[in-house]
Structure 1
Amino acid sequence: MPAVINYPHPSLGTVRGLASASTHQFRGIPYASLVNGWAAPVVVEGDPSGSIDATSLGPTAPSPPMGVEMEFSHIQQRLPTPSVHQSATECLNLNLTAPGNHTCGSRLPVMVFLHGGGYAIGANSWPQYDFQRLVELSVRMGHPVIGINVNYRLGALGFLTSEELVARGYPPNRGLLDQRAALLWIQKYIAGFGGDPQSLTLVGQSAGGVSATHHLQSELPLFKRMVSMGGTNLLMRPLPHAVAESTYRGYVDRLGLGSLSAAERVQALLTMDYETIVAAFSPADALLPVSGGELRLTDHTYAEIYQGDAGSLVLPGRKWCERIMIGDCQSDGSIMSTMLSYDPVTIASSFRASFERSLGSADKVDLIMKEYGISEESAGEEAYDRILTFVTDLCFFLPILQYGHYWSGQAHLYNFNEPNPWDGRWKGRANHILDVAFLFQNYNDLLSEPQRAVAIQFAEDLIAFAHGREPWKPFRWETTDLHTRVYGGRAAETVGQVQTLLAPDPRTERSTSILNLTATVPADELSRAFGVFLSGH
């Protein structure tokens, strides 16, 4: 059992935490307060004479109760899960893991993790994200880091918005505002835990990676380095206000508030219990970041990011984020299987019909289907998988190349190919979420020795990156030094291997199909067409 410690923080007072053999963990520390579940977050001010009990995990944001099991089902392996309650107003807390010998003068690099979950599920208490083993590894390496997991609001409380909410002081993108508040709190108070506020690395996976790239639109420096794992703002683009308004109308109608006045409706939302609000969610709801707002989110395009050095892209983070690491899993599109509500038998014909309507050209659709071998005559599962390969290339692989181009010379690209070892739909494939499952070392006891070596190397590379070192050669577009780090592969000789290659080396197990296709059909056209197809039209 870990021992309880009383840690003297110069600005927060006495912080009670848990000490293991080589780490200290401080759990459930409030970083921002909320007047109600819809309010803007207010960064918590420290009290040098006060005390914080950080021995227990804090409440999570309201979300579907089986969220962690949904993620385990995709990883195809579960871990023991702690019991944690939800709260609409006390969910803005973080967990901090530090080496056991940290002091105020340590000045250690800090890794801040934003979980994924499509802005609908996720929590800093989920066991697959526990930083303890990764921090222990950093200590053994001789390059210690501090790890922090952040809770932020999800679903309706995090992202439902409308003009009538904004007019009454309830801003859009509240979940992203929560994340920013956490980063500001960390900058202010991490030195007291032995961290360096000038050496923050923001690590985001899936929707967390989307969030990390959104925060690059901040004029205010928020972190020094960024890691985006299986998600960018090209995957989940900010919604137009018309879509947000339509989602809001549908949501309040299901809550029985449609006939009220605007003032009465907002007041009813403020007083409604969060269980009712969560239960009203429909899979058709677009509860995602919206354009504009305090964060001034912009719907950037593939073309803008690719041509960013030519001046077409306004991205303030380019000035203050000195280096990025960005990568994908070989079968990242697997996550879309939970959203494509098509019969596998007819999915190829539905794909063709939808894309022809969106692109207005049968010839363009023929190019897509030929490049990816999608055929109406194929067996249902084969056609489904080929469509998912197209989705992986368009939504996950192509964006990392675009960001590599924009951050040329300051970007480290990776391809995670190590196959899923556990029984299920994705066994033998590097499916979405697998990279983060390997990163935190919490599945190591369930991996073979070669796969455990991949997990350790992956973590060591991110630790080196957080220390400001180059874990492998950067991606340089101008000189065609297209270095990428490859973790594992399906072939017998590549399972358990880690190597740095020059793309398009076949050992990256990435094809040039999407590059061939986008030479004729612009990526932004394909992205819009896929969005329509994903919506069922």
Structure 2
Amino acid sequence: MLKRTAHMVVTLGLTAATVAATGSVAAAAEHGDNSVVRTDKGAVRGTATGPVRAFRGIPYAAAPTGDRRWTPPAPAARWSGVRDATRPGSACPQTGSVRPAGPRSSNEDCLYLNVTTPRTPAAEPRAVMVYLHGGDHTDGSGAMHGAQQLAARGDVIVVTVNYRLSALGYLAHPALEARGESGNYGFLDQQAALRWVRRNAAAFGGDPDNVTLFGQSAGAHSTCAHMVAPSSAGLFDRVVLQSGACLGGSDTRERANALKQGVKAARKIDERIKAAEERDDWRSAGPEHLVYGFGQSPYPYGPVYGGTLLPRTPQEAFATGQYNKVPVLQGINRHEGRAGAYAAEMGKKGATGDPEAVLDQADYRARLEQEFGPRKAVAIAARYPVGAYDGSPALALGAVLTDADQARRTVDTGRTLARGVRTYTYEFADHETPWYADAATYPKPSFPMGATHTFELPYLFELTEFDPLTEPQQALSDAMIRIWSNFARTGKAPWKPTTTASPNAQSLASGPDGVHPVDFAKDHQYDFWKSLD
């Protein structure tokens, strides 16, 4: 009976220690106010609205300011009384150039997280889902992703996290090596947030022994790094990778090369600082001079492999079995590469000054040669003729970029992981997806975007940057939330696991197509791309 009573207290968002406490927290419990929760650093008051409770702007580490810039995260300070948790903390310094857009910020006091929980008590502790946002490791914030639907309809607890970005989070440089493994401060922030979740999940009604780490794009690449980091062992129990397969690609940074690139990046940073502040001290300059937006950074940012923190790349770790073995749900969007075609078309409009400009055959061929070299470009153009894509060079380019990168990596990752852990593969394939609400800033292209990069996010989160879902899209959203949340609870998806022979992928679409099996490797011409090696 005592165990049952204690558990009921936890599901109300109040720990046993809180019940014994005096003051405002105890008074809140007495009046049935479950918008107050005591964390390990102090009490927080969130909001209880509709079916969820939301706690925003909870510090999980000390502000990485002053002497703490470019150091591992330090513990957050304790506070007295009840801390207001009704507004998100500041986003980490960024330009705000990635869609869905993170807010422009120059505030380094940014290591905050947000917790969204169902409002009603549960018979058992709920599964916890910790989300790492995308944004090329240069933009984004946890608060961008409203988690009300995922928490309420999925009956899970959702935690969204800020972490240091751009040079402040991922600059590798010899001068910083003595302060910890440089290039990985954003990754260390994520570890600190996961440790916070382990310590505090029960206070919010969650199960600290059932934590799913999931992320999209850069967040998925970070999640891959946690799978191979020895010090991340035990911090999560399942993994979801959205548009960020672990193997292949050019975004795995190894330490020796990252340090060389970091020296070059520091020189560029010096130039910016000297022009703005007439000095060249990049270690104490304003953070606005240290951050770059998507496509602007001196080199790709992200976790750095090599050293004690990340001693092995995912390729090395998976090949040797030296990784954190947990169930995996991984997948991509069917038309990922149309985002690249969109950028190319918008770039042509800007370069020519012609708002009606579209990609033509010459643009398509030039891009193939740029990406793959003249010899391979001939074979790719023959395999992906424009005539097979409604005569649209942009759609042909989108298919090439999807299949060459994301789809191939997803097959390789699934086959490799299937040797050691239960793995499921999906493809988000809705052909009619919401467009950006600000169509004046982000005009629609001459071709359908379909299920391009990031366009699955409105189906899982509330994102004001997108138009509302239609009724069929909302039905798909419900299905995806069921899949994601059930996987968080059980480590299983409602279709066959991936094997070394087949992805056994499931297509996720609205309308008459619905959720159904798909021949993922064939549809994305996997064997052709392997033949080009």
**TM-score, normalised on structure 1?**
0.77
Distance 1:280 1:190, change over 3 A: closer
From 108, 112, 131, the equivalent of 1:89 is: 108
* Distance in 2 of aligned mates of 1:40 and 1:337: 39
Distance, in Å, in 1 between the alignment partners of 2:187 and 2:146 is: 22
1:220-259 correspondence runs (5 A) = 220-233=233-246, 234-235=248-249, 237-240=251-254, 241-256=256-271
Instruction: Assess if the C-alpha contact under 8 Å between 2:149 and 2:460 holds in 1.
Output: no
In 2, are the aligned partners of 1:156 and 1:287 still within 8 Å (CA)? no
Q: Distance in 1 between matches of 2:137 and 2:410?
A: 21
Give the corresponding residue for 2:48: 19
2:526 maps to which residue? 514
CA gap 1:340/1:132 in 2 versus in 1, 3 angstroms:
same
Which residue, out of 140, 152, 170, partners 1:159?
170
Matches within 5 A, 1:64-83: 64-67=95-98, 70-71=99-100
8 Å CA contact retained: 2:46, 2:85:
yes
Report the secondary structure of 1:19's partner residue.
strand
Which residue in 1 is equivalent to 2:353? none
* SS class of match (1:278): coil
Q: Does the Cα contact within 8 Å between 2:57 and 2:89 map onto a contact in 1?
A: yes
Q: What secondary structure sits across from 2:475 in the alignment?
A: helix
- Which residue of structure 1 aligns with residue 440 of structure 2? none
SS in 2 for 1:196: strand
Alpha-carbon distance in 1 for matches of 2:183, 2:342: 26
Task: Evaluate the alpha carbon distance shift between residue 428 and residue 339 of structure 1 in structure 2; reply closer, same or farther with a 3 A threshold.
Answer: closer
1:147 aligns with 2:158: yes
Report the Cα distance in structure 1 between the residues aligned to 2:186 and 2:43, rounded to whole angstroms. 29
1:179 matched to 2:190? The reply is: yes
Q: Note the alpha carbon deviations across 1:435-483, whole angstroms, 9 max, x for none.
A: 12211255798222212101110111111111115331232425x5653
User: What is the 5 A alignment of 1:44-63?
Assistant: 44=75, 47=78, 51-63=82-94
SS at match of 2:89: coil
1:274 aligns with 2:287: yes
Secondary structure (helix, strand or coil) at the match of 1:452 reads helix
Please list the CA deviations of residues 13-43 of structure 1 after superposition, one character each: whole Å capped at 9, or x if unmatched: 3211111132211100011112436333435
Separation of aligned partners in 2, 1:258 and 1:20: 45
Equivalent of residue 316 in structure 1, options 306, 316, 323: 323
Alpha-carbon separation, structure 2, partners of 1:30 and 1:421:
35
- Does the Cα contact within 8 Å between 2:336 and 2:452 map onto a contact in 1? yes
* Counterpart in the other structure of 2:439: none
Label 1:348 to 1:419 Cα distance change in 2 as closer, same or farther (>3 A): closer
Q: Which residue of 2 aligns with 1:78?
A: none
In structure 2, the CA distance between the partners of 1:87 and 1:297, relative to structure 1 (3 Å rule), is farther
- Preserved CA contact (<8 Å) 1:61 1:154: yes
The answer to whether residue 152 in structure 2 is matched with residue 136 in structure 1 is yes
CA distance in 1: counterparts of 2:104 and 2:81, whole angstroms = 25
Equivalent position SS for 2:393: helix
Gaps of 5+ in 1: 73-80, 139-143, 523-537
* Secondary structure of 2:282's aligned partner: helix
Native 8 Å contact 1:237 1:299 kept in 2? no
CA distance in 2, matches of 1:211, 1:280: 18
1:321-470 equivalences in 2 (<5 Å): 321=326, 323-337=327-341, 344-345=359-360, 346-351=362-367, 353-354=369-370, 357=373, 362=375, 364-373=376-385, 382-408=392-418, 410-422=422-434, 424-425=444-445, 427=448, 429-440=450-461, 446-468=468-490, 470=492
Letter in 1 for 2:149: R
- In structure 1, C-alpha distance between the alignment counterparts of 2:181 and 2:521, rounded to whole Å: 46
Q: Retained in 1: the 8 A contact 2:331–2:428?
A: yes
1:96 Cα offset (Å)? 0.3
Cα distance in 2 for partners of 1:277, 1:256 equals 11
User: Matches of 1:513 and 1:85 in 2, distance apart?
Assistant: 40
Corresponding residue of 1:40: 71
Q: What do the CA deviations read for 1:83-103 (whole angstroms, capped 9, x no partner)?
A: x78354321100001122348
1:340 CA drift (Å): 5.7
- In 2, distance between residues paired with 1:209 and 1:170? 21
Aligned to 1:533: none
Q: Are residues 1:487 and 2:508 paired?
A: yes
Alpha-carbon distance between aligned partners in 1 of 2:253 and 2:78, rounded to the nearest angstrom: 39
Which is worse superposed, 406-415 or 5-14? 5-14
Residue number in structure 1 paired with 2:127: 109
With structure 2 as the length reference, what TM-score do the two structures score? 0.77
Q: Structure 1 427/370 Cα, relative in aligned 2: closer, same or farther at 3 Å? A: closer
Residue pair 1:371, 1:513 contacting (<8 A) in 2 also: no
Report the alpha carbon displacement of residue 204 of structure 1 after superposing the two structures with TM: 0.5
Counterpart Cα distance in 1 of 2:130 and 2:422 = 20
Q: Does 1:202 align with 2:213?
A: yes
After superposition, what is the alpha-carbon deviation per residue over 1:321-360, rounded to whole angstroms, capped at 9, x for unaligned?
2x11011111111333476698644434434544675xxx
- Partner amino acid, structure 2, of 1:498: V
Within 2, Cα distance between the matches of 1:122 and 1:468?
A: 29
Using the aligned pairs only, state the percent identity: 24
Cα deviation digits, residues 165-218 of structure 1 (max 9, x gap) = 224557222111111111111112212222111100011011111111111112
Provide the secondary structure at the position in 2 that maps to 1:26: strand
Amino acid aligned to 1:155:
S
DSSP-derived class of the 2:399 partner? helix
One-letter amino acid of the counterpart of residue 296, structure 1: L
CA distance in 2, matches of 1:117, 1:274: 18
Residue type of the alignment partner of 1:38: R
Partners of 1:347 and 1:399 in 2: how far apart?
26
* Cα deviation code 1:413-439 (max 9, x no counterpart): 111111234462364611111112211
